[in-house]
Amino acid sequence: MRIGLIAPPWVPVPPPAYGGTEVVIDNLARGLQDLGHEVLLFTVGESECPVPIDFRYARPMAPIGSVIPETAHVLAAYKSLADMDIIHDHTFLGPVICGLRGMRRPPVVTTNHGPFSRETVPVLQEVAKHATVAAISHSQASQARMNSAAIPIAAVIHHGIDLEKYKPGPGGGGYLMFVGRMSADKGVHHAVRVAKQAGRKLVLSTKMREEAEIAYFEKEVRPLLDADDEVPSEIPLQQRVELLRHADALLNPITWCEPFGLVMAEALACATPVLAFDNGAAGEIIDSGRTGYLCRDEAEMISAIDRVGGIDRDQCRESAERQFSLQRMARDHDRLYRRVLEHEGGFLRRVPSADRRLVSA
């Protein structure tokens, strides 16, 4: 099967630092290639994903969300991938554009990586008229069914991670860990308060580059830190994985209905239990009492810290191997693509333009 993947133009694939969607796309591309498929990834030129790539922009575009660069990016992507058997679009704007009258293209699958909200649902309802919509958790998919004109969800496919990068660790480091954006949605202030009240050291690996992230840190998080606490930083992947492997637990006190929560699966792969607020897809990732604890509030999370030593770390790793491998994710997508092609197999292919920039990684 010839599969075209479209990544957003904001971050290379894989991301050099923070970038959850780009991690997933990298894992999916490699997993599909390992299954024997011909994969072409449309991304930015700095990407180092080990599959053939094409691009409109050599470097990531900024600021994130700029409409004109994203429009140029996705138009170039659909032109580049016109001779694929199927296109899997991971942008928000691309699936809207691909419905333009007269655009010749193969069938399109789109994964919604964000929430189904009051703003996104009307757009995705239009997208579903000409593209196949996939969700990343049952919690997220349920949001699409709560509206009067529900969005048809063709498949719920949990993210998969590279288990070779996230090796199981022994714990015993004597600290807790938080990984995520510096954001109220991620609950950084809750994590700091929980660790302080439990009398435990907390390592904060957090993206803090944008104005809103810095403002939240200064207002809500910095006042909670003591003079001898480490300043939160965006820790590089290899060092972050080592810290996760030796952490006693990951704190993930999310305050919103997060569609998935990749860091929880990464922690489990490192054999590290997860303590999370029971929001969004947390209950689909954590088996409470077996691989961590789902908590209602800070008090329950503080109590769970005292019990986390009783969690069998081997069970955490086994859960990640069974549910969250990139191989499982690739197989699930393979089945979805085949169903779509059986239903929409009569598409008209077009020979790609002669000036295509095809880069073999």
75 token code pair: 């138009």
The tally of domains found in the chain comes to 2
pLDDT > 60? residue 257: yes
- Pair 289, 272 in one domain: yes
Q: Say whether both 70 and 87 belong to one domain.
A: yes
Q: How much is the pLDDT for 99?
A: 84
User: pLDDT tens digit string along 265-287?
Assistant: 999 999 999 999 999 999 999 99
**Contacts of residue 223, Cβ cutoff 8 Å, sequence gap at least 6:** none
Q: Enter the tokens of residue 124.
A: 């995705």
Q: For the segment 68-109, what is each residue's pLDDT rounded down to a tens digit? A: 999 999 999 999 999 999 999 999 999 999 888 667 789 999
Same domain membership, residue 153 and residue 232: no
- pLDDT in the model for residue 151: 93
In the structure encoding, which two tokens stand for residue 181, read together? 């954006």
For residue 344, name the pLDDT band (cuts at 50, 70, 90).
Answer: confident
How much is the pLDDT for 147? 58
Q: Is the residue at 59 inside a domain?
A: yes
- If asked whether residues 17 and 125 sit together in one domain, one would say yes
pLDDT digits (tens, 9 = 90+) for 29-58: 999 999 999 999 999 999 999 999 999 999
**Same domain, residue pair 193 and 140:** no
List the CATH number of the domain containing 114.
3.40.50.2000
Across 130-144, average pLDDT: 95
- For residue 248, pLDDT over 90 is answered with yes
Residue 356 has what pLDDT?
44
Residue 124 domain flag: yes
Domain match, 330 and 221 both:
no
With a cut of 60, say whether residue 353 has pLDDT above it: no
Rounded to 10 degrees, what is the CA torsion of 128, 40, 113, 251? 160
Mean pLDDT (whole number) for 170-180:
97
pLDDT value of position 105: 85
Task: Name the more confident of 190 and 100.
Answer: 190
pLDDT band, residue 302 (cuts 50/70/90): very high
Same domain, 142 and 179: no
- Look at residue 351 and tell me whether its pLDDT is greater than 50: no
34 lies in the same domain as 106: yes
Domain assignment present for 353: no
Q: 73 and 48, same structural domain?
A: yes
Separation of alpha carbons 345 and 196, rounded Å: 58
Q: Who wins on pLDDT, 18 or 166?
A: 166
Q: What is the pLDDT of residues 205-239, one digit of tens each?
A: 999 988 999 999 999 999 999 988 988 999 999 99
- At residue 148 the predicted structure's pLDDT band, cuts being 50, 70 and 90, is low
In a domain, 357, yes or no: no
Domain that holds residue 281: 175-321
Question: Of 164, 106, 170, 169, which Cα lies nearest the Cα of 341?
Answer: 106
Please indicate, yes or no, if residue 17 is contained in any of the structural domains: yes
Q: pTM score, two decimals?
A: 0.91
* Residues 314, 331 within the same domain: no
Residue 350 maps to a domain? no
Do 293 and 332 lie in a common domain? no
Return the pLDDT at 269.
98
What average pLDDT does the structure give for the chain? 92
Band (17; pLDDT cuts 50, 70, 90): confident
Q: How far is CA 314 from CA 169, 178, 205, 250, in A?
A: 9, 21, 24, 16
pLDDT recorded at residue 343? 85
Q: Is residue 165 part of a domain?
A: no
| pLDDT over 80 (residue 24) | yes
CB of 21 within 8 A of CB of 49?
no
Enumerate the H helices of the chain as residue ranges. 20-34, 67-80, 94-97, 120-127, 138-144, 188-198, 211-216, 237-246, 262-269, 282-285, 298-307, 313-323, 326-343
pLDDT computed for residue 64 by the predictor: 87
Q: Are residues 316 and 329 in the same domain?
A: no
Specify the higher pLDDT residue, 212 or 349: 212
356 located within any domain:
no
